Structure 1
């Protein structure tokens, strides 16, 4: 691609962008062909096509092992940067081949392998040059670091999309590996968002260990269990330091991993799964009550929205109306968020939310890889 061709993309108001997201569970890619028109609060965001691509178990295990600092040295991170890039590029190219019309750019989040906001650092890998070379398209990537450069946490990123999509007073909750919540305000500087703690990551670890499945499909395992009050109290106490941190704050699998569950004794493993569901929702609801203004309703996306046990706990503990959008949107939302960040990169508009991340200023997020 020559610069004149890229200049044509820059001059557009409306762009078709493929947003690509792989979350902390590293179980697959979400790809969302998103038409973004305009900028800021008035941006029109339209989902044209979505695809979920599951990774094989061996690749997922390789990625998750890279999170562990005790076994993952610089050699492993270096190797995985290229392996992830090659693997993601192959799946993205396959998605592009299924489309009827050309795409302008790819918005590529990559794979977070370590996030340490206390140290002011974060690392997303997955070599973007593989993606740009294999697809022949410009790739906007590495969206978190610029926010950290200006003193922010680099997370969460999706509140910018929440601000565009939802009405004032909405709690936009995403339950992926980690749980996060956005309080949507009409005023940009009134938006508040943060990670409340774990969502599915501890549950996934537990069902893999005891039931040899990747996740609790439809909450069936949790539905067979009972809440263990003693375990719940232990989990809440272990999470106290993070819970008491006032926003802005973000977290990840660096905290919520096998070590977080170490020494937890239980009877039936189903009871532990059920208790982890209640723990997730308890921390989320108490965080909303402690740190956010009074809102009207909760809109839930992410894998946790498909767990009826988790949704029933959320309704019971929050006392608010809980809305679960259609399955396509709840799976595609974060990938759509990447497309919106790329749109603002091309518009030259800062898309971090300083009231969310603690950054000193708005900055343009992302970097560019050309084919």
Structure 2
């Protein structure tokens, strides 16, 4: 059984739109994959501003943006298909772009109407993967652990370093997963002080000095003492992180927050005795951050090929779309906290 699917992923750090075309094969109940084509499309300044500010839009403008961004996704997918002359595409799976994520209030919102993607491409679309899980008392995140379980089980854990760091691993026979801490959503903001979109190789952080009282304040935030399942969103960062990152130079904030992220990630490795961890996501290229994680932990960091570092999330949403089309479970209750495993995503 073979499927060809396109996965679309837009992360909270606004690096751009990741598009991944992959082949998935199931033989004797085991899944395998091959990334065939993939690329990241940087957002124009106009789109970056729209997505960044969408959390402040009124309801009418947000509904309009949901449609507009859906057509944007559809057009970019069509261009991608034509550029590589792709054929026999079974489905497009779109994560959308997260505006709100408040599972405790039973809602999460990823904009980018899948119906617009379908109208432009005339290919089945699966979208809105998170809402059903939130309605089922789940966190609506992290969702990719099903892919980690079925495609990357040879590793003790899978860590994604994106806007937030999140991890999944097996514990007592169950796949658990949770957000560890913010990463690029904070680091990128302060890198912009230097007219850079991100702290390349962690060079700004490396040249800064960690503020120890600030580091202690960050490490003492209540979230880090809570048990999983748990997840983070931009609202949480605005409420818990942004107010205390003041009265310090941008370089020193980058040094301090990088140290904070490394400490929190290593703490999870150490507490769970994880020996080999697969690292993916844009933060994986931050050599200084990886060095600080190694400083705090003896866990072996596994770095795959760049295409997997860059496109694992888009790949796994394509895979989740395949599972959804087959009515197989694509969300694990042990990871999100929902009351049962389920098959989530709207199909059009």
Residues in 1 aligned to 2:68 and 2:203: alpha-carbon distance in whole angstroms:
34
Q: Kindly indicate whether the alpha-carbon contact (under 8 Å) linking 1:243 and 1:287 is maintained by their aligned counterparts in 2.
A: no
Aligned to 1:74: 59
Does structure 2 conserve the Cα–Cα contact (< 8 Å) formed by 1:204 and 1:216? yes
8 Å Cα contact 1:166-1:184 kept in structure 2? no
Q: Provide the C-alpha distance between the structure 1 equivalents of 2:276 and 2:25, rounded to a whole number of angstroms.
A: 27
Compare 146-155 and 274-283 and name the one that shifted more: 146-155
Distance 1:15 1:123 in 2: 28
Q: How many residues align?
A: 347
Query: How far apart, CA to CA, are the structure 2 residues paired with 1:41 and 1:28?
Result: 34
Q: Distance in 2 between matches of 1:258 and 1:121?
A: 18
Tell me which residue corresponds to 1:243.
224
Misfit runs of 4+, over 6 Å: none
Is 1:83 equivalent to 2:68 in the alignment? Answer: yes
1:41–1:179 distance in 2 versus 1, CA, 3 Å: farther
Q: CA deviation at 1:22?
A: 0.5
Change (3 A) 1:168 1:16: closer
1:39-188 map, 5 Å: 42-67=30-55, 71-102=56-87, 103-167=89-153, 170-184=156-170
Cα displacement (A) at 1:42: 1.0
**Structure 1: distance between partners of 2:29 and 2:57:** 41
Cα distance change, pair 227–179 in 1 and its aligned pair in 2 (3 A): same
Runs of at least 5 residues in structure 1 that lack an aligned partner in the other structure:
1-12
Secondary structure of the residue aligned to 2:237 is: coil
Q: Does the aligned pair in 1 maintain the 2:20–2:38 contact within 8 Å?
A: yes
Alignment of structure 1 residues 220-231 onto 2, 5 Å: 220-231=203-214
- Cα distance in 2 for partners of 1:223, 1:243 equals 25
Structure 2 residue runs of 5 or longer lacking an equivalent are none
Q: Deviations for 1:323-358, whole angstroms, at most 9, x for unmatched residues?
A: 121211111100011111111111111111111111
| Contact 2:214–2:244 (8 Å) recurs in 1 | no
Q: Distance in 2 between matches of 1:125 and 1:221?
A: 33
Deviation at 1:315, TM superposition (A): 1.1
The TM-score, its normalising length taken from structure 1, stands at 0.88
SS of residue matched to 2:33: strand
